[in-house]
Amino acid sequence: MRAWPAPEIPALPVRAPSVRLFDSSTQTLAPSGGGPEARLYVCGITPYDATHMGHAATYVAFDLLVRAWRNSGLTTRYVQNVTDVDDPLLERAERVHVDWVELAERETELFRHDLTAMRVIPPDDYIGAVESIPLVIDLIGLLQEAGSVYEVEGDLYFSVTADPRFGAVSGWDRARMEAVFGERGGDPERVGKRDPLDCVVWRRERPGEPAWDSPFGRGRPGWHIECTAIARTHLGAAFDVQGGGSDLVFPHHEMCASEAHVAYPDGPFAHAFVHAGMVGYAGEKMSKSRGNLVFVSQLRNSDVDPMAIRLTLLQQHYRSDWEWVDSMLWDSVDMLAEWRRAVSVESGSPAQPVVEGVLAALAEDLDAPRAVALIEDWAQATLGHGHLADTSDPHAGTMIRALADAALGLEL
């Protein structure tokens, strides 16, 4: 699948510290990106509706990671999927009487435009579920050879007990797993399953649903196996990070890891699992199914500067759950205008400590709010509003402009 155009990123004269990230599976901060190439898989959209602030916040968070890795001297390899066939997409297409392929293409295209406007670095490989069906079929074959797949009325299930490490990603106990499995695409109550938590890897054809030929009959892939297959094929074993929003910790990332452990006993799936917090609006998690949404495209259509949207997202730590409030956006519009004024003055407050501080903040679990505060202090000092008014650095504006762009993705 085609991704979107890459923003131009200025090179910085200083090298950033190595990145440390909070790994959900160990609940600790750990060094990240050990090799010369850092490898990242981020779970992409299910394209049945437009990009909302929750999606945008998650993709901006992993964009900060790519930038932090690159600024620390690593090269990066980034893969993202598009769940372009799955229950929620098919249900929406049927409800609004649109062909599911058309709906997926339209919403994916809108997503590309939204993320381009927000200067989010595109993945190197942008891979759809439909185009990955041959990979999924091969992977199910490996799971079958390992004796971890069984059939219920023509549907194939992965047996979670086949992986002794099942549960290691979320660290949840069974009661908690069972409580949310049904709400997040699982079918804990289905009769004939060996374990309520087993997940579908191949769903046999139903009338009116798309289906593809396979050695196990016509059907379509289950959700989790799509990401397992794409990540393992396009990144190999033991890549650095699997990322997504915190709603994917269980079952999605847990199942991806277990399927990979069983199919490929040669190595771990991802070294770390990194999760962005949930963005809410009007008292609830922003979600396509609840309909309490603020869309990036809607704001763009009303001529809101995408950089102001981005700056709003950056002021929340990526791991926090938070609520979008419209006034945050207007505050960011003002802040951005001040920053733009500050980088245009002839001589500004010294940039060097700001560069070092911002890069250090981002290397320490992507602390964008701290990075924003440092640039804000610099802007205030440069404009003479701060107590530290000092405008002795003639290169400060150029340097801060490059810094905001390279480290935070903000074009001033």
**By the rule CB under 6 A, 408 interacts with ligand 5CA:** no
- Indicate the residue among 177 and 396 with the shorter CB distance to ligand 5CA: 177
C-alpha to C-alpha distances, 121 to 59, 61, 68, 227, nearest whole angstrom = 9, 11, 12, 20
**Partner interacting with residue 203 (select from Zn ion, ligand 5CA, none; CB below 5-8 Å by kind):** none
55 binds, among ligand 5CA, Zn ion, none (CB under 5 to 8 A by kind): ligand 5CA
- In the list ligand 5CA, Zn ion, none, the entry touching 355 (Cβ below 5 to 8 angstroms by class) is none
Q: Which of residues 301-360 bind ligand 5CA (CB under 6 A)?
A: none
User: Which residue, 43 or 160, is less far from Zn ion as judged by CB?
Assistant: 43
Distance in Å, CB of 81 to Zn ion, minimum: 6
Cα end-to-end span (Å), the chain: 31
Query: In the numeric block, which tokens belong to residue 161?
Result: 């007990």
299 binds ligand 5CA (CB under 6 A): no
Binding mask of the shown chain, residues 26 to 45, with x at each position contacting ligand 5CA by CB under 6 A: -----------------xxx
Q: Is 54 in the site for ligand 5CA (CB under 6 A)?
A: yes
Q: Tell me the closest approach of the beta carbon of residue 409 to ligand 5CA, in angstroms.
A: 17
CB count, 10 Å around CB of 346? 8
Strand order in the sheet with 279-281: 284-285, 279-281, 322-323
Site membership for Zn ion, residue 227 (CB under 5 A) = yes
Q: How far is CA 301 from CA 34, 114, 218, 333, 352, in A?
A: 42, 11, 42, 16, 38
Binding mask 218-257 for ligand 5CA (x = CB under 6 A): ---------x----------------xx-xx---------
**Closer by beta carbon to ligand 5CA, 251 or else 409:** 251
Query: Considering beta carbons, is residue 63 or 405 the nearer one to ligand 5CA?
Result: 63
> Comparing C-alpha atoms, which of 322, 313, 299 is closest to residue 60?
313
Stretch in the footprint of Zn ion (CB under 5 A) among 10-18, 41-49, 97-105, 183-191: 41-49
Spatial distance between the Cα atoms of 33 and 271, rounded to a whole number of angstroms: 9
- Residue 12 Cβ, how far from ligand 5CA at the closest point, in Å? 28
> Of ligand 5CA, Zn ion, none, which one does residue 58 interact with (CB within 5 to 8 Å by kind)?
ligand 5CA
Please, what is the minimum distance in Å from the beta carbon of residue 238 to ligand 5CA? 20
Measured between alpha carbons, how far is 96 from 99 in angstroms, rounded to an integer?
A: 9
Nearer CB in complex with ligand 5CA: 50/351? 50
Place of tokens 């390899």: 77
Distance CA 372, CA 378 (A): 10
Q: How far is the CB of 257 from ligand 5CA (least distance, A)?
A: 14
What is the CA angle 323-327-332, rounded to 5?
A: 100
Helix H or strand E segment including 114? helix 100-117
Q: Does 43 bind Zn ion (CB under 5 A)?
A: yes
What's the Cα-to-Cα distance from 141 to each of 201, 233, 262, 339, rounded to whole Å? 11, 15, 12, 56
The answer to the question of residue 85 lying near Zn ion (CB under 5 A) is no
Nearest by Cα to 54 from 251, 321, 248, 409: 321
Q: How far is CA 162 from CA 175, 195, 288, 387, 409, in A?
A: 19, 11, 34, 63, 43
Can you tell me the distance from the alpha carbon of 321 to that of 63, in angstroms, rounded to the nearest whole number? 18
Can you give the binding site for ligand 5CA, defined by CB under 6 A?
43-46, 54-55, 57-58, 81, 83, 227, 244-245, 247-248, 276, 278-279, 285-287
Residues in contact with Zn ion by the rule CB under 5 A: 43, 227
